[in-house]
Amino acid sequence: MPEQSKDDKNSGHPKSYLTNLANMKLLTSDSDFLEIVAEIRKVLNIPEDGLQTGEELKEWYQKHVEDSDRMFDDKDHTSRGRAIHDAYKVKEIDYEEFCLRINKHHEEIPLNYIGARVRFLIL
């Protein structure tokens, strides 16, 4: 870990804050992490410079709510989820495969994808 400078020690931030900040700087310079973020931005249609205004964010989020609602109402989507559960019940797939498939299935719903990717990035 980088040493705290005199300015850091007097910044009023706890040492853990400064350590976390250093870790974030290191992470955001990692090419694998940047590729993951680029893929998430692409899937979620987030511009490179982000959503600049509250109105842009509101419109962006509303689109994902509407798309999610459509997915919830989609009989094919429901059928695919049921098929995954059925395959697990008859031991066609094991628990690990069930979890992989059902998580991927749930992430087809945009709001689920947003939450899952946030959890993935921060955990």
In this prediction, residue 122 has a pLDDT band, given cuts at 50, 70 and 90, of confident
Dist. CA 93–CA 99, nearest whole Å:
10
SS3 of 39, please?
Answer: helix
| Amino acid letter, 70 | R
- Structure token digits, residue 36: 């993951």
In this prediction, residue 3 has a pLDDT band, given cuts at 50, 70 and 90, of low
pTM of structure: 0.73
pLDDT of 41 over the 70 cut = yes
The sign of the torsion formed by the CA atoms of 100, 111, 108, 39 equals negative
Dist. CA 42–CA 32, nearest whole Å:
15
Higher pLDDT, 88 or 3: 88
pLDDT by residue (tens digit) across 63-80?
999 999 999 999 999 999
Average pLDDT over residues 105-119: 95
| Burial label, 109 (beta-carbon count in 10 A; 0-12, 13-18, 19+) | buried
* Per-residue pLDDT, 5: 53
Long-range pairs for 60-63: beta carbons < 8 A, 24 or more residues apart: none
